[in-house]
Amino acid sequence: METSSVAQFAQAIISQLDQVISGKHLATRDAVLILLCEGHLLIEDVPGVGKTTLAKALAKSIGGSFSRIQFTPDLLPADVTGSPIYNQKELTFEFRPGPVFANILLADEINRATPKTQSALLEAMEERTVTADGEERPLPHPFMVIATQNNVEMSGTYPLPEAQMDRFFGRISLGYPDREAETQMLEQQRETRPVDYLEAIAQTSELLEAQRAVRSVHVDSKLQDYIVSLVRATREHSHVGLGASPRASLHLQHAAQAHAALQGMDFVVPDDVKAVATMILAHRIIPLGETRSRGDAANDIIASVLNSVPTPLPVR
């Protein structure tokens, strides 16, 4: 698939998502971008702004299987991955797959579960396999985790471990809709929910082609050096206790490739890197002291990093 075809493919999905998530075009675009990068998405927001609807609509749009896990304090790791069940007829144990075996997995309110259960997703997210009953089982391909997270300050929540945060390719926030979009939502859902009537406009095989095409977008060595400089600057920032990992450098490059492909381009320019930097890096850093409790602290730090690191001249 050519990069121009990737742009058309992605735009069709984004347009369909915009039909059910009013007034949040940038959020739907970023969700599709992360899907093209074979990444996992963390949506951090207040309840009731459309996080679950976005996940369902994305799964339906690509004709993929969808599964949902409601994370609660009593959820066990086996409730996520599956467990062996005794078959009385065959007198043997057989593995019953958990909800993680889906193309799109919605991990709803992931930070309401205990750290042990949160960690059950780590292998699945990174290795795309599940080890259960002594056997390694591959997950469907494509596979994407969309996790929703309420604000940590809310009651009954557990902060996600840094290791798990780092495995999320990007983080977005939907936020409250504006007045016009909220009024439009009331009209759209007066009798039915549009997401229930969405049809697949693509096949998973087409998605896999698009994902491979994104990987082929050219990244000049000067831009790779720029990406490394941005990530290293987060580690050296005076207001940061823990900076972005080397995995963040890989994800930032891949996201820049996808951003370029969405524009129909076959090479990355500095603006592609800047456009995705906050989404890719902000959730991976831990600000120092009092700034850690401020929701916009990490975003401000990434903005200062982008301003401080010299931008290379556009190159192909």
* CATH code of residue 308: 1.10.8.80
List residues bridging with 86 in a β-sheet: 93
Give the helix/strand (H/E) hosting 208. helix 204-215
Residue 293: pLDDT over 50: no
**How is residue 142 written in tokens?**
């494509």
Mean pLDDT calculated for residue range 209-232:
95
- Helices and strands, counts by H and E, the chain: 13, 11
What one-character DSSP code corresponds to residue 87?
A: E
Which residue, 144, 176, 190, 198, is CA-closest to 16? Answer: 198
pTM of the entire structure?
A: 0.89
Q: Which residue has the higher pLDDT, 283 or 182?
A: 283
Amino acid at 244: A
Q: What is residue 290's predicted lDDT score, i.e. its pLDDT?
A: 55
Residue 256: pLDDT over 50: yes
My answer on whether 8 and 40 are in the same domain is yes
Distances (CA, A) of 294 to 163, 246, 290, 299: 21, 25, 7, 10
My answer on whether 228 and 210 are in the same domain is no
With vertex at residue 298, the alpha carbon angle to CA 295 and CA 301, rounded to the nearest 5 degrees, is 135
Q: What is residue 315's predicted lDDT score, i.e. its pLDDT?
A: 59
My answer on whether 53 and 105 are in the same domain is yes
Q: Which of 104-108, 157-161, 261-265, 309-313 bottoms out in mean pLDDT, i.e. has the lowest?
A: 157-161
Number of domains in the chain: 2
My answer on whether 307 and 187 are in the same domain is no
Residue span of the structural domain in which 227 resides: 218-316
Contacts of 204 (CB under 8 A, 6+ apart): 62, 63, 64, 103, 142
My answer on whether 7 and 90 are in the same domain is yes
My answer on whether 193 and 225 are in the same domain is no
Residue 218 φ then ψ, to 5°: -75, 140
Amino acid at 156: G
My answer on whether 205 and 224 are in the same domain is no
Residue 283: pLDDT over 80: yes
